[in-house]
Structure 1
């Protein structure tokens, strides 16, 4: 999903103060970001189904903390057993997606987690090497065509 498809609140067009950072407290001129929804898919290798479920039943605390620190909320992964597809969806509520994803990539424990889970997956993106490489993405982004709140 292209960043140009979404413009966060806090832009000059709404008269908000764009000089503030995410770490600053909300002010009357800064509106909390309502979030941008993401969805992506990857294929789970059939021999790893049970192991994948087991590791995700006890995600490492450092990984969970980094996800939260990178302003990702409402994150879930679904498995479709007939095709082996893993479907992930989450909401990003920050203002610098690329920067937050770089922070995620800089965490050694997250990179270790990715190495563990990538070995259980098969990317659907041509040329993807792993989650750590970044581009092309390991998980294939998918387009949202309908949403009802």
Structure 2
């Protein structure tokens, strides 16, 4: 069945975090952009194997949850996503201008990878 096939494909899950810059106007701009995400961005993310992406906010901290196809590789596929369409890179640069890494991020890490510690 289609449902069983989807369950087989959605094998990888990721949790990542980043902060928005500490400026209420920047935070509101970020939220406005995500209420009206560019269609190229949505298509581009799906084309590299991201089946589901949720972003939660508390204060200025963001938490992103992603479900991806089993063959998704962030190191390979996010650069590929930016290369698919110049608008995707433009979106990434715009979002990055409103963000800053969390203190616990690894050197050079933007969205910090979180470790799964419990699953029900």
The TM-score bracket by the shorter chain reads 0.7 to 0.9
SS state at 1:143 partner: coil
Is the helix fraction higher in 1 or 2? 2
Q: Which has the larger radius of gyration?
A: 1
Post-superposition Cα deviations, 1:44-95, rounded to whole Å, max 9, x if no partner, equal 11321111100000110000001111110220111111xx211101111141
Q: How far apart, CA to CA, are the structure 1 residues paired with 2:106 and 2:115?
A: 17
1:35 and 2:11 equivalent? Answer: yes
Note closer, same or farther for the CA distance 1:41–1:104 as it changes in structure 2 (3 Å cut). Answer: same
1:123 corresponds to: 101
SS state at 1:138 partner: coil
Higher relative contact order (CA 8 A, sep 6+): 2
Provide the TM-score with structure 2 as the length reference: 0.80
1:54 and 2:39 equivalent? Answer: no
Which consecutive segments of 4 or more residues in structure 1 shift more than 6 A? Answer: none
- Structure 1 residues not aligned, in runs of 5+: 1-30, 129-136
